[in-house]
Chain A
Amino acid sequence: GAGVSQSPSNKVTEKGKDVELRCDPISGHTALYWYRQSLGQGLEFLIYFQGNSAPDKSGLPSDRFSAERTGGSVSTLTIQRTQQEDSAVYLCASSLVGHLTNTEAFFGQGTRLTVV
């Protein structure tokens, strides 16, 4: 696609339910990032995938959060047993990263998650 696509745009879920957020990166981009942004706040790093390397999961806030990237393309961020503090905008970005190749990250529009 032309850009990074995230779905759904908005998600309202009940406390305790599981949710899945999807990210379609730009074709050919080797790096994929997930960030969380609470209202009026900065970007909180969650997880980073780069090619076939083991992902950097150091930003995941708890074991309720997990993410996978299938075939080096689409990524899914899963939040289990959602809590109200999980309410935020979840942003995905992708970039082309490699030896002597380094471009800026392109962002999707984000998924606004509301836990009620």
Chain B
Amino acid sequence: AQTVTQSQPEMSVQEAETVTLSCTYDTSESDYYLFWYKQPPSRQMILVIRQEAYKQQNATENRFSVNFQKAAKSFSLKISDSQLGDAAMYFCAYRSAMYGGSQGNLIFGKGTKLSVKP
């Protein structure tokens, strides 16, 4: 079974600085998807960025980028120019590219709480 591990329960960053959140996963599959979700206090889960495992190029979305290391099964999120609105829980998630039955389920890490200091 696949697992997702986020080893940093809490992180803190100064406004305008850069922070990196770590995520590792375990799978025997070769084709899958990885996601970072943000959950602010409003509890609405919002997709930040996603990565297809077959793509070697790291995904970027404005100030958010990932460092995807497939061989190491690592998927870290870098937030540049941190803003107060970035303060939230961040969850890393994995999903197989297969579907049907139990495959295709979305598996989450336990989350990292990010604080942004003004």
Closest to A91 in B: B45
Nearest chain B residue, comparing its CB with the CB of A109: B44
A-B contact count (CB 8 A): 67
Chain B interface extent, by class: 20 to 34
Interface size class of A (residues with CB under 8 A): 20 to 34
Secondary structure at the A interface, as helix, strand, loop or mixed, is strand
Q: Is A62 an interface residue (CB 8 A)?
A: no
Residue B110 lies at the interface, judged by CB distance under 8 Å to chain A:
yes
Contact present for A89 and B43 (CB under 8 Å): yes
A104 contacts across to B, CB distance below 8 A: 35, 47, 50
Query: In whole angstroms, what is the CA distance A103 to B11 when docked?
Result: 29
Q: Which of chain A's residues has its CB closest to B48's CB?
A: A104
Name the B residues within 8 Å of A109 (CB-CB): 42-44
Q: Which residues of B contact A93 (CB under 8 A)?
A: 45, 106
Residues of B contacting A37 with CB < 8 Å? 43
Decide: A56 and B105 in contact? CB cutoff 8 A: yes
Q: Are A48 and B102 in contact (CB under 8 A)?
A: yes
A70 interfacial by beta-carbon distance below 8 Å:
no
Q: Complex formed: what's the CA distance from A54 to B101 in Å?
A: 6
Interface positions, chain B 2-34, Cβ under 8 Å from A, are 33
B100, A51: Cβ atoms under 8 Å?
yes
Most chain B C-beta atoms within 10 Å of own C-beta, residue among A31, A48, A97, A109: A97
Across the A-B interface, the 5 shortest Cβ-Cβ residue pairs: A107-B45, A42-B110, A56-B102, A43-B108, A104-B47
6 additional contacts (CB under 8 A) given A31-B99, A97-B104: A35-B108, A43-B108, A45-B105, A45-B108, A48-B102, A58-B102
Please list the residues of chain B having a beta carbon within 8 angstroms of any beta carbon in chain A.
33, 35, 37, 42-47, 50, 91, 93, 95, 97, 99-102, 104-111
